[in-house]
A and B are shown apart, each in its own frame.
Chain A
Amino acid sequence: MTELKRILVIGGGHNGLVCAAYLARAGRKVLLLEAAPRVGGAAITREFAPGFKVSAGAHLLHLLDPQIEKELALARHGLSYARTSLKTVSLSETGEPLVLDGATVVAGKVSASDQAALASHRARMQKFARVVARQHGRVPARLASGNWREALTAAALAFDIRRLGRKDMREFLRLATMNIFDVLEDTFDGAQLKGALALDGVLGAKLGPRSGNTVFNSWYRASGDAGGRAGSFALPAGGMGAVTQALAAAAQAAGVEIRLSSPVASVLLNGDRVSGVRLENGETLTADVIVSNADPKTTLMKLLGARHLETEFARRVHNLRAVGTAAKLHLALSGLPSFRGLPAEHAGERLLIAPDLGYIERAFNPAKYREFSGEPVLEITLPSVHDASLAPAGKHVLSAIVQYAPHDIAGGWETQRERFATATLAVLERYAPGLRAQIVASELLTPLDIEREFRMAGGHWHHGELSLDQFMMLRPVAGAGQYAMPVTGLYLCGAGCHPGGGVMGSAGRNAARVILKSRQAA
C-alpha cells in the first residue's frame, strides 16, 4: 500500500529535481526516473573533448529563483559562482567593440544622447521585467474559474501592472506585444547598441527583431536576479551542471530516490487515472501521482498518447509552437582567442555577434523558410577564463548559442550540419582572426541533436516558444495552465509550464505546491 502512495517524477532536469525535492521535503515518498546516466537534463556540464568541459545547454545562469536557492540551501549543497554580473560586449568586425555594464558604456563609441537614453530605457525595462518576475512564483489563475483564490491571483497581476503608475502602465501595455525593432529605433541612434539590446529579445525564439512579442521576450530574459543582481548573467563554478548537481544533492538529502538510465516508455492508466509507468526495459512501476519534467508534447502525445486526451486538448498540444532555432557550438581552443579591438580583460564577458538590427533580422529570414542563417547571430562565453576546472591550463573552451538553425531544416540536418558549422566558424573568424587555427576540437549541437540528447520535442530549450499566447494560464496550452493535466494524477513540472524556460526552477516549485494541495497526493 505504501508503494501506491509513491510519487514518480519523470526526468531529472532542474525542474524535475526542484519538484522532487519540494515534494520530499513535505514528507512524500518520491522516486525520480532519469533516462540519461546522469541527472541534469540539459543543465549539465560535460566533457566534449579530452580535458575540455562545457555547459551542454544553457551556458549563462540568470533566472534561477533565489528563493529556491535559499530554501533548498544550494550553496550548502555545492553551488557557487565563478563570476556574477557579466558585462555585455557587442563584438565588432572593424575593431571597435562596445562594452556595456548594465546601463553604463564601459568602452566603445556611443553618443551622449544614446548614453542618456540607455539609462532611462534600462531602468524602465527592468521595472517592467519585475512585473514579469513577480508572476514566476505564482500558479497562474484560470479566467472565470469562480474560485476566489484564483481571482486574487488574477487581481495581483492587475495590481502589479496598475501600480507601475499611470504613465508606465500605459507604456507596459503598449510595449508588451510590440517588436523590439521599433522600440529600439524609437529610442537609440547607435546601430551597435541597438543590435546588442535586440539580441535578448530573440535569443532562443523563432523570432526576428521585427517580430511581435520580442519586447516581452527581452523582459522575460531580464526577469531574474541570479547572483544577486537583477537582469544580470552569472557563471556557476563548474558550469551549469553544478546547479543540477546541487539540486540533486538537495533532493537526495530530502529523501528523493534517484534512478538513472531508466527511460520511461509510457504512462499507464487505470480507467481515467494514472496507475504507473512502463520503462523502456519493460519494467512497470506503480504510482497514483506522476509528475513529468519532460516537455508537454513528449509527455502527453508520446508517453500518455493523444487517444487518452480530449480531442481539442490534444489538438492544442499538437499545435504548440516548439520549433527550436538555437544551436549550440562548443570549441576547445589551444589559447585565448583574440577578438578585434577587445582587450583580453573583457574576453570572459558575454560576447555578442549582433552588430545591428538589420543583421539580426537578415539572420532570421532563412529560418522562416526552414533554412539556417548564412551569417548567424551568436552569444558567446569563454567560461574557462573564470573557471580553471573547465579546460587544461592555458587552454580555453568557447560556448556559443548560434541562431538561426531551425529544427525542421529543409534537406535534413545530416546534409546541412557541416555547411552550418563552416558558415558559423567563418563568421567567428571575421571577429576573431586566427580563431580557427586555435581549434583543438569542436562540437555543434543542432536543435535535432538537442532533441535527441535531451529528449526535448523540437529541440526547443524552453519546451515551447515563450510568447504571450503560450504564457501563464496559456502555458503549455489553454486548459492546462495549472500543472495538472486532464488525466487524473498526471502533472507537468517542466519549462513547458508557467513560467517557462531558462534554468529557473520555478515551474518545478509551483508544480510541487499544486501537487501537495491535490487529493491524489494526500
Chain B
Amino acid sequence: MPEANMNQETYRQSEFARASDPHAPAGSRPNAISDTLKADVRGLSFWYDKFQALKNIDLPIAEKKVTALIGASGCGKSTLLRCFNRMHDLYPGNRYEGEILLLPEKQNIVEKGIDPIRVRLKAGMVFQKPNPFPKSIFENVASGLRVRGIRDRAVIADRVEEVLRQAALWDEVKDRLDQSAYALSGGQQQRLCIARTLAPEPELILLDEPTSALDPIATAKIEELIEKLRDHYAIVIVTHSMQQAARISAYCAFMHLGQLVEFGTNQTIFTSPKEKRTQDYITGRFG
C-alpha cells in the first residue's frame, strides 16, 4: 500500500517523543494516535523461558476506546494482553523487557519493582472461558471489592447491583443473587465475569477472546455490552473474529509471529491496510 495512507489519518505525535525511543528501529512508524492515551507499550519484548514470544512491540492504547488485537493463533496477541496485568508472573521463567506505561502516572507496569498485584488492581481481565468462582452470583461480583478491602455490606450491595445493571444482567439474576453462579448459562456467566471485572472500577479492561466459547446470541449480547462500556473505559480485546474486531474496535493491531505488523484505526486496517500480510489475514487468505 502507498505511503500516502499515512497522511489520510490525523496522526499526531503522542505526548511521548517516539523518535527518541531507543528501542524503535530507525524509520519505524510512530504508531501515534490523536486520542488521549491510557497506556503506551514501548519496545516490549517477552520471553517464555528461552522462547521469545513478543518482539519489540510498540502500541498505544487509547482512553475510552476499544483496541483490538488480531492475528493467527500463536502470534502472541494473548501473550501481549496478559502482559497488561502481569499474568505471566504467575509462572516461573517468564521475562519482560521494555515498557508498558500506564497513564497519566507514566508508571511502567512491567518493571520488576512494581508488584503484579498493584497492576492487577488497575487492569481487570475477562478470560476466554467464563470462569465464575464456585460461589453465589452476588459473591462473585463482590469478590473484586472484597479483595480491595471493602467491608461495608451496604456499599458492596449497592455496587453489585450497579455493575450487574451495567453488565445487562440484573434483570435476569436479581431474584437469585444467592444462587451459585454455575446455575447461569455460558453467556450469563461471561457477563457476570465482566460485571466482576467492572465492580472495582478498573482503569483498563482486558478481554481475552471473551466470546469464543459462546453461541451467536450470547456473543451479540457481549458485543452490545462492550459497545456500551467503551464510552467509559479503555478496553483491549483479543479476538479471532474479524467481524467482531471490525464492529467494536476503534483501533486495531495486527500481529504475526510475535511482531506487531500493523497498527491503525479500524478504518485503515479493514479498508486500506498498508501491509500485504495484514490484507491477506483480514481477507482470509492466510491464518
Q: Do A and B assemble together?
A: no
What is the interface of chain A, defined by CB distance below 8 A to chain B?
Answer: none
